[in-house]
Amino acid sequence: MALHATYLGANGWLLEFGELRVLVDPWLTGPLEFPPGAWFFRGELPQERPAPLPVDLLVLTQGLPDHCHPASLALLPPTTPVVGSPAAVARARALGFSELTALAHGARHCHEQLQLTASAGAPVPQLENGYLFDHPEGRIYLEPHGFLDPTLPEQPLDAVITPVVDLGLPVVGAFVKGQQVLPQLVQRFKPLAVLVSTTGGEVRFEGALNRLLWLKGSLEAAAAVLPEGCRLIDSRAGERYLLKQHQPSTAGASAGGAKAGTAAG
């Protein structure tokens, strides 16, 4: 068994904990717009993608359309179990999903062997969710705006999914704080891998809001703060990354002989 993560662009991920498939914040098809309309902010995907079915669990961090995208969620069966922030669950309910769990900060939810813990995320403007995924196949922390809940205890993780740059607006300041939070994430979780999220996938943006955005940070700066043994993955949309693989036990290998060794390869 193994732990895999497939980047879907923007905030979207497919996490595979062995055979358990968890879809996070998908934007797969159609444009992205923020009120009051396309003149203000519009995003276009370079390539539309089908829903990565089957999906065992849909996890939503925020209720905003770049995390809870109506056209993309419509690609999923409405019976798909959904876990999300209260704002995201309200959106999913309006779209027809029926099995819904809203998680407050610090609350936990178990789905099969996965334990999901919600953490305080970005204030956009209401405080949304980050998540700690804990499964026998691996452990991952994900928060799409680079906000770290100070109440999360130090613990070793297999991977952290986060932006590594800051994005902001004049007067408002940074609303994505990837560059600022990365050193704290590394110190808190000592991850074996950091996967770059939120700003990737070659999405095309336009509109008045986009013209005001500023960016600070780079992949090179992010790599410089990572300790030896922690790999930085410049996530590419559509790429499936192996994060952890369980080796067969010594006893099993001895009993199986050469045949077991071939299967492992």
**According to the model, what pLDDT value does residue 255 have?**
39
- In total, the chain counts a number of residues equal to 265
* pLDDT band, residue 249 (cuts 50/70/90): low
What digits encode the pLDDT tens for the residues 211-245?
Answer: 888 899 999 999 999 999 999 999 999 999 999 99
- The residues spanned by each domain of the chain are 2-242
**According to the model, what pLDDT value does residue 259 have?**
30
What are the Cα distances from residue 187, in Å, to 120, 153, 191, 255?
Answer: 18, 11, 9, 41
What is the three-class DSSP state of 167?
strand
Instruction: Give the separation between CA 41 and CA 248, rounded to whole angstroms.
Output: 50
- Say if residue 264's pLDDT is above 60: no
Burial of residue 151 (number of CB atoms within 10 Å: 0-12, 13-18, 19+): exposed
What digits encode the pLDDT tens for the residues 41-66?
Answer: 888 999 999 999 999 999 999 999 99
Give the mean model confidence (pLDDT) for residues 197-209: 84
Q: Angle CA(238)–CA(87)–CA(208) in degrees, nearest 5?
A: 65
**CATH superfamily assigned to domain 2-242:** Ribonuclease Z/Hydroxyacylglutathione hydrolase-like (3.60.15.10)
Give the mean model confidence (pLDDT) for residues 29-40: 83
Instruction: Give the separation between CA 259 and CA 159, rounded to whole angstroms.
Output: 32
pTM listed for this prediction: 0.90
- Reported in sequence order, the residue ranges of the chain that DSSP labels E, i.e. its strands, are 2-9, 12-17, 20-24, 32-33, 42-44, 57-60, 82-84, 100-102, 108-111, 114-123, 127-135, 138-142, 159-162, 166-169, 173-177, 193-196, 204-206, 214-216, 231-233, 240-245
Give the mean model confidence (pLDDT) for residues 143-169: 96
- Say if residue 253's pLDDT is above 60: no
